[in-house]
Structure formats: C-alpha cells, structure tokens
Amino acid sequence: MTQSARAVSSPDRMTRAAALADVAGLDALLVSPGPDLRYLTGYDALPLERLTCLVVRPADDPLLVVPALEQLAAEASPAGSMGLEIITWDEGQDPYALVASILRGAQQVAVDNHMWAEKLLSLRAAMPDCGQQLAGDVLRELRMRKSLAEIEALREAGAAIDRVHAGVPQWLRAGRTEREVGADIAEAIRAEGHARVDFVIVGSGPNGASPHHELSDRVIEAGDPVVVDIGGTTSAGYCSDSTRMYVVGEPPADFLAYYAVLERAQAEAVTHVRPGVTCASVDAAARQVITDGGFGDRFIHRTGHGIGLETHEDPYIVAGNDLLLEPGMAFSVEPGIYLPELHGARIEDIVVCSPEGVDRLNRTSHDLVVVGA
C-alpha cells in the first residue's frame, strides 16, 4: 500500500459505523468486497464466488469472515494490521451458516449495496427470521463527508488527470480514430499516477451528443468538436473525473453559440456551492442558465455526482435532492448540452464543499482548446 493509501485510512471508521448502525436499530452491518469494505478496513478483497464478509456489530467487536485460502491476504492487508479478528471457513463448509451462527438472535441487519444477489439470498436463507435492508443508508453518512486526508487524495487524483488533459492536444487531430486517441489517453492516465483507467470518452462530432459514448472507430474530421471525459483510480484508491472540450481546426458557429452558454452555466453552478445550500439548488443554478440560453431540453442529465472510492457515489447533484451540502462533500459539476446528429459539449470539474464555500480540484482552463486539423 502506498503512503497516500495509508494516509486516508482511519481506524475509527468501524466504530462510527457501528454507532450509526445502533442508532438505526440494526444488529449488524454485513459488508462484502467492494468500496464499502475498502472504506472501513482498507482491504481490497477479491470479489470471489466464495463469501468474504465483514460483520460490524453495535454490541460487539467487528470481525471478518474469509475463505481459508484468503486468510494470508486478509492478514497482510490493513484489516490485519488493525487487529481485526479474522474467522476462516474451509471448502465444504457453509459460510452463510457461519455468519448466521455469529449473529444468532439478530432481528435486523443491513447488507452493503454492492453485495452480489447470490450472497444476499444465501444469507437470507441462512437467517430466515432476520430482516434485511441496505447498508447504504448508514454508510453514505460516513463516506460522503470526506476527511482532510481523503480530500488531499482526491486533489492528487484531480491534478493527475489535469496533466493528462494538458497532453490531449498532441494526440487529437484529424485523420485519427477516437479509439487511437483514446489509447494514447489511457496510457497517459497510467503514466500520470493512476493505478487503473476507469473510462475514456472521446466523442467526436455527432458522437459528442451521446454523453456516455466512450470510443469508436470513427475517424476524427476537421471542424469536429470533441468531448474528452476521462478518469481513473489512483494507488490511494480515490478517483478522478474531468471533462474538457476540444475542436479540430475551425469550430462550427452553432457550437460556439451554445458553448458560451455552457461555460456560464458551469461557472454559475460552481459558484453556487457552499455549506447549507441543497444539491438540487446547484443543479438548478446550471439548468437555469442553459434554459435561459434556449437549450434547456438539450441538458439531459443531472449536474453532478459524488466521488471518492467510487466515481459515482453520494451526494448526487440532481433535481429533487434536498440534501444540504456540508464541508467535506466532494462531487462533480458537469452540465452538458447535446445536439443529436451534430455535436455536444460538457465541462466537468470535481469540487469540494469547504467551510469557505467551494474548492475546485480541477484547475485546467475551461476555454475551448483548438487543435490543428
């Protein structure tokens, strides 16, 4: 594990999770491999068909149930160094019955939102008299309020993806395919400090009107606006996500008209961020500018999503979400305008709600970048 990964580990996370579970009237949180397990223990367990399950109990110490063949890996992970009790099960043993015996008499448990259906149903069969609900309602209260160490990890991720955007003009030009440009970008994402490439979107010309287009064999042409939305996960486990706009040669006049509207909308939404305003109001700040500019029906998605150990997590910046922003909440601000069969545009920054207002983690310019045809 890297120094940054150790820096974001927090030994009291399970204590806080157990306390919240107690307030929620739960006998236990059951957490399988995935972002919640990494958040609570630092253990990046393999998502196997064999059951690995963290059991967090308000009235007792937490413990980790793992297959015997994963014992050494668990002990070598941060979970092992924090003194967490590790209970193993052997091939041929029923691990669900083992968890049920640990929780004998439990009336209500919560399972993490990413638990595989086959594991959830097996736990239900092993504990037929115990109610089950999602643990996300409890764990999101911890995860969406980032610590200072987590914010710094996100800042490092943002700076790394900014450096990749700075290199895009050398790869993006007429005559190359989106897939060829995307391959260069993916290589740069790894070179700039990411352990994993999560996505590369290169949406040229009409493909830019599809927000999640990713890559194709379309040959980029002179005059194409190009959406470049890229992100990855660093060795510390935290994600990057940033979108900038490029154009090959002379941009179309109709594109320039709505790109100016989009720039104002994104800036207005970022400026609106501060403690005490709702997630919905940030969405509304961007949407109002785009609607006033005549493109309201062309903004077809929410304004943003939380980010941390996952690219998409709470809080979501969307109409109807009246959650009040608090210091430490990190999320994207990414309004877009999309004209089917023509082109599209999106500008995206990761920001953190700070006590003073807003901290923008992506620092590259929002100006349209013109590259040679």
One DSSP character per residue, 18-40 reads HHHHHHTT-SEEEE-TTHHHHHH
Average of pLDDT values for 316-321? 98
CATH at residue 111: 3.40.350.10
* pLDDT above 80 (res 1): no
Domain end (from 143, 178, 201) = 143
pLDDT at 8 (0 to 100): 58
For residues 329 and 344, state if they share a domain: yes
Residue pair 28/106 in contact (Cβ under 8 Å)? The answer is yes
For residues 175 and 263, state if they share a domain: yes
* pLDDT above 60 (res 98): yes
Confidence of residue 373 (pLDDT cuts 50, 70, 90): low
pLDDT at 31 (0 to 100): 98
**Residue listed under structure tokens 């149930």:** 65
CATH at residue 259: 3.90.230.10
Confidence of residue 354 (pLDDT cuts 50, 70, 90): very high
For residues 139 and 155, state if they share a domain: no
For residues 343 and 215, state if they share a domain: yes
For residues 118 and 174, state if they share a domain: no
| Phi, psi for 301 (deg, rounded to 5) | -145, 170
pLDDT at 372 (0 to 100): 83
Helix (H, G, I), strand (E, B) or coil at 358: strand
For residues 98 and 153, state if they share a domain: no
For residues 124 and 163, state if they share a domain: no
Average of pLDDT values for 286-298? 98
For residues 156 and 137, state if they share a domain: no
For residues 111 and 203, state if they share a domain: no
pLDDT at 2 (0 to 100): 41
**Number of domains the chain is built from:** 2
Domain end (from 117, 143, 169) = 143
Least confident of 1-10, 220-229, 328-337: 1-10
d(CA 133, CA 137): 9
Residue pair 273/325 in contact (Cβ under 8 Å)? The answer is yes
* pLDDT above 70 (res 4): no
- Owning domain of residue 78: 3-143
Q: For residue 99, give both structure tokens.
A: 């968890």
pLDDT at 9 (0 to 100): 55
pLDDT at 5 (0 to 100): 44
Q: For residue 338, give both structure tokens.
A: 């999309």
For residues 181 and 325, state if they share a domain: yes
152 Ramachandran zone, left/alpha/beta (phi>0; psi -120 to 50)? alpha
pLDDT at 90 (0 to 100): 97
For residues 105 and 178, state if they share a domain: no
Max distance between CA atoms of the chain, in angstroms, equals: 70
For residues 219 and 120, state if they share a domain: no
Q: Tell me the pLDDT tens digit for each residue of 126-185.
A: 999 999 999 999 999 999 999 999 999 999 999 999 999 999 999 999 999 999 999 999
**Residue listed under structure tokens 């990749």:** 164
How many helices (H) and strands (E) would you count in the chain? 12, 17
Confidence of residue 67 (pLDDT cuts 50, 70, 90): very high
Q: What is the pTM of this model?
A: 0.94
d(CA 308, CA 236): 10
pLDDT at 7 (0 to 100): 45
d(CA 193, CA 170): 19
Q: Tell me the pLDDT tens digit for each residue of 12-43.
A: 899 999 999 999 999 999 999 999 999 999 99
Residue pair 18/38 in contact (Cβ under 8 Å)? The answer is no
Which amino acid is present at 347?
I
Average of pLDDT values for 186-211? 98
Domain end (from 128, 143, 158) = 143
Average of pLDDT values for 232-240? 97
